[in-house]
Amino acid sequence: MQTRISRYVLFVFVYSLLQGQPKSTPKPVAHSQSTPSKLQFLCSVQAPYGEWAPLAQFVSGLNSSVYSLPLDQKAAWTKHSELANARWASAQARYLDPIDNWRERTLGKSGGSDLAFYPFSGPDAANVLSFFPDAREYLLIGLEPVGCIPAGLSDYNASYFSALRRSLDAILTVNFFRTNDMQRDFNSANLRGVLPALLFMVARSGYSVVDVTRVTITPGGSVELSRNDVPGEASGIAIRFTNEHQKVRELYYFSLNLQDSRLSRKPGTMKYLASLPEADTLIKSASYLLHTPYFSFVRDTILSKSRVIVEDDSGIPFRFFDTSAWDVRLYGNYREPISLFRNWHQSDLESAFASRRDVRPLGFAIGYRHIKESNLLVATHRGLARRRADD
């Protein structure tokens, strides 16, 4: 009994911490919803003048020419654009371009499901778009609220742009969001929720946003437009966007706690997850939550629905990949988890990295480690891959 309690305390401790090194000792309840600051602007999910494409370009610092701005706001946007350009260029050079090169060499036709699934993602659209650029739908799930954007153009000011850049600091420098930072940044007075960050990443990844709508998962297990007369279990957002060939895709983000005890109170959400089609799944910087018994439903869902799983060692433990069902390839180097997650060392995965002769180099940093200490596991489900090849 004492061991079970100690493991639960460890789970709460991990889940409430930063997804990187902690800066201070957290309280056990730190992962609960924080009280939002008072809004400094009228908040909505509606683009100024009803046009989402120019707004996404504007928020991401790519183009402001559609809007007539006063001098002070134009100066604030120009500074935002310069800083955003520099930070995105650095993220591309260090992470996104190497991921593109690795994917083309490694996944080939393996990464071809219509759905890309990214649990524990926060608003990290950039990585899932890089790992699985050919998906038609993207499903992201995080704790952070969906939020909104300023309804008035004048509220996109220096304070707003500064708050947006601050919320993106970690993902653009170390390539993952820190949980405690997100609780602070996405509940601030100048920035409410993950929608602006999602718009930034979709636009910066080279796509044009078509429209954005609020959605919800109903008790019946379907995804519907969010309306007062539609009961919902999980609030979300749907972003439709196109590539240069005008191919329409859709990204869904749901604010949802994937812990078993929380999901058990949402039968419609469990039904929705259980009904997902075949998917390609990305798991990175996931705080080793899938190593605990408290996230068994989502772990089993991933294993039953995924044709391809790309994960670092914070994802599903190596022992769950039965070699009769999964073809597993290893990349990079396995090292002890960082001190925050030291209890989640995998001796079997360490042995596999040490003994297998087919371990390939990785060439970029992923998860909580530097480039020479990072690892990825790519698991392809033999049955699903064979069935798709026969179709």
Express as a percent the part of the chain with pLDDT over 70: 81
Tokens of residue 159, six digits: 């304070």
Q: What is the pLDDT of residue 279?
A: 97
- Per-residue pLDDT tens over the stretch 99-149: 999 999 998 755 579 999 999 999 999 999 999 999 999 999 999 889 889
- Per-residue pLDDT tens over the stretch 246-297: 789 999 999 999 999 999 999 999 999 999 999 999 999 999 999 999 999 9
Quote the CA–CA distance of 318 and 91 in Å, as a whole number: 29
Does the CA dihedral 283-287-292-294 come out positive or negative? negative
Quote the CA–CA distance of 262 and 265 in Å, as a whole number: 6
User: Residue 385's pLDDT band (boundaries 50, 70, 90)?
Assistant: low
> Which candidate, 38, 44, 51, 37, places its Cα nearest to that of 150?
44
DSSP line for 82-105: HHHHHHHHHHIIIIIHHHHHHHHH
Q: What is the pLDDT of residue 8?
A: 39
Per the structure, the count of domains in the chain is 1
Look up the domain containing 177 and give its range: 2-390
**2-6, 69-73, 187-191, 337-341 — which one is most confidently predicted on average?**
69-73
- Strands of the sheet containing 326-332, edge to edge, are 223-225, 208-217, 234-242, 248-255, 137-142, 115-119, 279-283, 306-311, 375-381, 326-332
Backbone torsions φ then ψ of 329, nearest 5 degrees = -115, 145
Cβ atoms of residues 374 and 362 within 8 Å: yes
**Residue 136 CB neighbours (<10 A):** 12
Quote the CA–CA distance of 30 and 187 in Å, as a whole number: 14
Q: What is the pLDDT of residue 78?
A: 97
Express as a percent the part of the chain with pLDDT over 90: 65
Q: What is the pLDDT of residue 6?
A: 43
Distances (CA, A) of 300 to 137, 221, 306, 313, 315: 21, 18, 10, 17, 12
Q: Is the pTM of this model over 0.75?
A: yes
